[in-house]
Amino acid sequence: MTNDTLLNKIRQANPLVHSITNQVVANDVANSLLAIGASPMMAIAPEEMEEVTGFAEAIVLNIGTLTTEILEAMLIVGRAANQRGIPVILDPVGGGATQYRQEAVSILLKEVTVQLITGNAGEMAYLAGVDWSSKGVDAGTGMTSGKMIAERVAHRYQTVAAVSGKEDFVSDGQTTVGILNGDPMLTQVTGTGCMLSGICGAFLAVDKYDTLESTVKACTAYGVAAEMARDNQDVKGPGSFRVSLMDALYNLSEKNIHDKKNVKRYNANNSKEEDNE
């Protein structure tokens, strides 16, 4: 199923994506899901998690503004989703920044089977067990490539891993894909990574049987939308870019993705080939 077909399928099916997300940017996450064609739900009360899971088609767990009660809700909804075969996406925002977050991520990955872990290089480096210098939830810097981090996380947790950056990398431990679409302005607006994990949820909701390809398509579509937002002549800085990005997600078309996508597939011997047909 092509990028374009999945985008159309989201808009036709209007899948419900339940996001327990970063409360700093919950509004943007919800609106980005609406813009791409999905239906957002942002419930956080543990008491309603079982019921909510009954009509959700994807679950996104984002620990950006984590509390003990929110962690409880995540565990309830994650286990319920596993029982129902609903895809679960984990966004470990600032996962290595504090002991509390480290312990929470460890519990989630032990108790819930996740189909996708997505985050910036600093967050994912912690899960990969590699040295990295980061500040809070920022990506930071390190000597290990995003590609290697994605592959290590995928191997370690037997899942698909997506590492965002100048080049996004998505890996299932066997196949790794690099996506060069996007724009540096994404790093100047808080919550753009949280929006991406939500959009990954929308793509997995309509194609949960090939998590690697669904994630590649989600990251590509989001990157193309960011480029469209940047090209808007009214964009003067982060504020106008944020608004333009929402409009770009809404106006994104099959042709936009086909014409602009810049994707490379890495094979077993680490060579790469273009995948822009």
Instruction: Point out the annotated binding site for substrate.
Output: 42, 191
Q: What's the longest Cα–Cα distance across the chain?
A: 50
Distance in angstroms (rounded) separating the CA atoms of residues 99 and 75? 18
Distance in angstroms (rounded) separating the CA atoms of residues 195 and 190? 10
**Tokens at 23, concatenated:** 């409360």
**Tokens at 48, concatenated:** 């309603």
- Enumerate the known binding-site residues: 42, 118, 164, 191
Distance in angstroms (rounded) separating the CA atoms of residues 255 and 128? 36
At 214, the amino acid letter reads S
Report whether 218 contacts 15 (CB < 8 A): no
Distance in angstroms (rounded) separating the CA atoms of residues 261 and 10? 19
- Enumerate the known binding-site residues for ATP: 118, 164
**Tokens at 19, concatenated:** 């996001």
Report whether 139 contacts 121 (CB < 8 A): yes
With residue 138 as reference, give the H or E element that holds it. none
Distance in angstroms (rounded) separating the CA atoms of residues 260 and 187? 20
Distance in angstroms (rounded) separating the CA atoms of residues 56 and 40? 9
